[in-house]
Structure formats: structure tokens, C-alpha cells
Amino acid sequence: MTIPLDRRESSLAEVAVALRSARRITAICHENPDADTIGAAVATAIIGQRLGAETEIVSIDRPAPMFDFLEGIGDVKPRPTLEPDLAVVCDAATLARVGRIAVDEAEWLSRARLLNVDHHVSSDYFGDLNLVDPRAAATCQVLAQLVPELGIDLDPALATALLTGIVRDSQGFADPSTSPETLRLTARLMEAGASLPRIHRTILMEMPYGMMELWGRILATLGAAMGGRIVHATLTQAMVDETGTEQHDADGVVEFMARSKSADVAILVRELGPLETRVSVRTTPSVDATAIASAFDGGGHARRAGCTVAAPVDRALSEVLGVASAALGDSQAPAQGDAVA
């Protein structure tokens, strides 16, 4: 990845100065928010409040009810309402990842100072300040580095928000991105009052009946290609409507598909509109997931990536399968017993 000459990694000290000097802090989630972007946004708001700033959390899509245990989550807004000051974009490799906010609130964003906090290897360093660490298991792990720099004590609310993102993005500490530092930080967050069992159960284990029904319909579309080295499934809007669920209720399906013993690539395509399909990709070390997603201007991590294809869901699946098959054709067959990470 080539970083533009006018974009660079910011130091913890620089970011700490920006947070301390801000009078107003707007924490922005990416579209279809997951636990890492939500946890980071909630933590950012808590940090801002501790520093005496006025804060707000913004998400174009409503967070799932499972996150109701996080402090301040009930006050999430669909658009910024504070006068622009410091805007902290959480867990987004590009500004476009925040969804319609990037277009509808372009004028607001142009007047704000942007702090990009992220852990995606595909980050394009769009911020005025960029705190990006692709080695981290989660954006919440990156954000946690600021707590001692700011001289803020961890309390249960802040520790819970940070651990929520880490648990989800590390897949319960099973993802290869999990490092000794991830586990040391988790211990510190637990010591500060975050309940690992509660977070793990809420984020990774509990499933309402409607969500289980939705998963059943998605898995009924399960298919394979390249002799089983690719597994794929489809989520349509009709499935969501008929089960009374929402798009976020499909979160975790692609990780479940990735348990296929023979697969190097797991692909879930989601119908968002007639000409808008969201694609989630999970891979083994045999294939770089970003190589598949980047063909459609997406990004992410080597094992986990995503993109949006401007096509109906069936055609989008066909196009993504073509790219994934080509990527597999350039790789070696997996060793016996390899699993998708």
C-alpha cells in the first residue's frame, strides 16, 4: 500500500493533544456498525467527556440491540449535530466507509478536524491525524493506547467499551491478529471492571429466535466452488423482511461458514438494494482477502475483508467468485486440516 505523501501516521502525543484541546468531539461509526466501531465510538465519547468536551456518537445505521449494555449507546444520532470541531472516525479504512454521512455531511466534515483511528491494513490515511495500527486485533486496541497517554483511569464503562470491540474483532481471541499485547490489555480491562464472560456471551453467543431463523435461510443458500475451496451464501432483503430481522443480524454468518474444513475462502453477499451488494470475505493464509476485495475497491485485513459491488446480488456473487477463483488458481492447495481463519 502506498500512503500519499501528505498523509502519515500520527504519534500518540499528537493525538492526545488534539483530544485534550477539542471542545466538541464527534465519534463516527462506519455503516452497518459492528462491535469494534461501536465500542471505539463509545470509548471515544467517554474519553471526551472525561476531558471536559461535549460529545456525540454518530452512526448512519442504528446499532443492534445487543449493544444496549454500552454506556451512552441510546443517544446515537444518524448525523452530526454539534458544531464541527474534532471528528473521530472509528474503524473505517476510508472515509466512504461511514456511508451516506460522507456525502450528506461533506460540508460539515470539511470544517472538522478528522482523526482516523483504525487497524485495517487497507487504510488510506484520510484523516488530518491518523492513528492506524494494522497489527492490532481491533480498533479498540489501538484506541486503548491513548488512555495512559491522556492520563485517564480505566473505569468499568470505558473498559467495557474497549473490550467489546476486541472480543468481536479477535473472534474471541481466536483470530491470528490476537497478540500477547491483546491478551495483556484484556487483563487490564478486566481488572478495571469489564466482564469478559458477559461481553463474550452477548457479542458472540446469544442469538434471538429471529436471528437463528435468518441464519437458517442464509445457510440454505450455501454453495461451493473450486472443489470446495470456496464456500458462499446469499442474504436477500426478502429474508430480512420475512424473518422480521435486520441486516446486522447476519453478522457472524461468514465466520461460521469459514469453519468449512476444505475452504480457503468464505464469501457472504448481502443484498442492500437493486444495484448494491455488500460482500464479506474470509480466507486462510493461502489467499489474501484484501486481494479479492480490492478488485471492487474494498479493503480490510489479509484474512478478513469486504467490499460493495454495484450490481444485483446474483451478478455480484458471480463476479466475486470469478476473482476469488483466480486468486485461488494462483495459490497452493491447503494442507490437510487447514481451516479458514
What does the pLDDT look like over 34-46, one tens digit per residue?
Answer: 999 999 999 999 9
| 300 within 8 A of 124, measured Cβ to Cβ | no
pLDDT at 32: 87
Q: 314-326: per-residue pLDDT in tens?
A: 999 999 999 999 9
Of 56-60, 209-213, 319-323, 333-337, least confident by mean pLDDT is 333-337
Question: Residue 83 CB: number of other CB atoms within 10 A?
Answer: 12
DSSP string over 176-236? TT--HHHHHHHHHHHHTT--HHHHHIIIII---HHHHHHHHHHHTT-EEEGGGTEEEEEE-
Can you list the domains of the chain with their CATH numbers? 12-204 (3.90.1640.10), 209-329 (3.10.310.30)
C-alpha cell recorded at residue 148: 495512559
| Model pLDDT, residue 8 | 67
Residue 338 pLDDT > 80:
no
Q: Which residues of 176-213 are buried (b: 16+ CB within 10 A; e: fewer)?
A: ebbeeebeebbebbeebebbbeebbebbbeeeeeebeb
Distance, CA of 233 to CA of 213 (rounded, Å): 15
Distance separating alpha carbons of residues 25 and 82, to the nearest angstrom: 8
Segment 128-138 shows an average pLDDT of 96
The Cα-based distances of 196 to 95, 97, 160 in angstroms read: 31, 29, 8
CA distance 141 to 118: 9
C-alpha 274/C-alpha 264 separation (Å) is 29
Q: Provide the mean pLDDT of the chain.
A: 93
Share of the chain residues as helix, strand and coil, in percent rounded to the nearest 5: 45, 20, 40
Please state the pTM of the whole predicted model. 0.85
R_g (Cα) of the chain, nearest Å: 19
